[in-house]
Structure 1
Amino acid sequence: MSTDLHTVRPARTTLDTAAALIARYGLVIVIAWFGGLKFMAYEAEGIAPLVSSSPFMGWLYNIFSIGTFSALLGVFELTAAVLLAVKPWWPKVSAAGSVLAIGLFVATISFLFTTPGVTEATAGGFPALSATGGFLFKDVALLGVAVWTLADALRADR
């Protein structure tokens, strides 16, 4: 296959642009949605078993109530979403949102290793995931998107 050295390719194709917008603003929507839910009692109670079984975060319930911790987490998530969204105007600020999102996803992925019942015992255990395990496991992909948004924001700031 020969390559024409005189062919100029656009720096970014329409598909690249669409993918970048979907990745970034899809992540913004997901993080903002879950961040907003953290102010609801059912969500606060829903994350309590994950947080309480974590040696990294369980101690926070000695300081904050379940509802207060969930609301604080919601503030962090909503902040990350807003910071991610401002990349066209303030790439450095958006990079900070990416770092925050990366931290949030690393924390939730850690629950895969600290929460009882993430595998489905009736299916023989690992590698079969329970509903909770599947919910947490998808954050591996979201972590990848958050890392990409960091690289994208840093590239745009040059």
Structure 2
Amino acid sequence: MFKILDRLPSQLLAIAALRWSLVFIFALFGVAKFAAYEAEGVARTAMHYPLFAWMYPLIGVQGTSNVIGTIELLAGALIAIGAWSHRAGLLGSLMGICTFLITLSFSFGASLWEEGYGFPFMGSTAQFLFKDAVLLAACLALALHAGHALRARAGA
């Protein structure tokens, strides 16, 4: 019965799957921030959020979205480079953790449940935000993987 367990692939396969799926997500969402439709969508939420609100009067809707997109693209690139450099992977994963903690914090005070239904029927805001819990966990897994690899190399 447990013979199949002898044939399991390395856990590195799971790390690679997490890495490249996160790179894909950061690339698509990062590039989208440079489009007007996405900048306007982000502004509806971020404009009222203290971390970003100060940017809108300084550089406008598109400029703020471009900054966010650049950060997302940088995080994705560092996560990709993490396939060869644990330091880069750790930094990119930590950036991802920050990104998803920030987006999940948008849920505080937001209307999450579908009007007229309530919990557990998610409204569009909850549907948009709750997936970030899994992305946060994926970044945490990559950060831990890189951190352990760096510690092992330092101890060797």
Q: TM-score, normalised by structure 1?
A: 0.84
Other-structure match for 2:131: 138
- Whether the 8 Å CA contact 1:108–1:139 is kept in 2: the answer is yes
Name the SS of the counterpart of 1:113 in structure 2.
coil
Describe how 1:95-110 pairs up with structure 2 within 5 A.
95-110=90-105
Name the SS of the counterpart of 1:65 in structure 2.
helix
- Whether the 8 Å CA contact 1:84–1:95 is kept in 2: the answer is yes
Q: Please point out which of 126, 145, 152 is paired with 1:152.
A: 145
Describe how 1:110-125 pairs up with structure 2 within 5 A.
110-115=105-110, 117-124=111-118
Other-structure match for 1:66: 61
Name the SS of the counterpart of 1:39 in structure 2.
coil
Structure number with the higher helix fraction is: 2
Q: Give 1:133 deviation, angstroms.
A: 1.4
Describe how 1:1-150 pairs up with structure 2 within 5 A.
13-14=8-9, 16-115=11-110, 117-124=111-118, 126-150=119-143
Equivalent-residue separation in structure 2 for 1:82 and 1:61 (angstroms): 26
Q: Give 1:15 deviation, angstroms.
A: 5.0
Equivalent-residue separation in structure 2 for 1:53 and 1:133 (angstroms): 18
- Whether the 8 Å CA contact 1:54–1:114 is kept in 2: the answer is no
1:60-112 per-residue CA deviation (whole Å, 9 max, x = no partner) reads: 22222110000111100000000001123211111110111111111100111
Please give the root-mean-square deviation of Cα atoms over the aligned residues, in Å. Answer: 1.9
Q: Which amino acid aligns with 2:42?
A: I
Q: Which amino acid aligns with 1:156?
A: A
The change in CA–CA distance for 1:56 and 1:88 in structure 2 (over 3 A counts) is closer
The change in CA–CA distance for 1:88 and 1:55 in structure 2 (over 3 A counts) is closer
Taking every aligned residue pair, what percent have the same amino acid on both sides?
A: 34
The total of aligned residue pairs comes to 146
Equivalent-residue separation in structure 2 for 1:55 and 1:120 (angstroms): 26
Q: Which amino acid aligns with 2:127?
A: G
Q: TM-score, normalised by structure 2?
A: 0.85
Deviating more after overlay: 36-45 vs 20-29: 20-29
The change in CA–CA distance for 1:114 and 1:59 in structure 2 (over 3 A counts) is farther
Q: Which amino acid aligns with 1:37?
A: A
Equivalent-residue separation in structure 2 for 1:39 and 1:106 (angstroms): 22
Q: Which amino acid aligns with 1:43?
A: E
Q: Give 1:153 deviation, angstroms.
A: 1.1
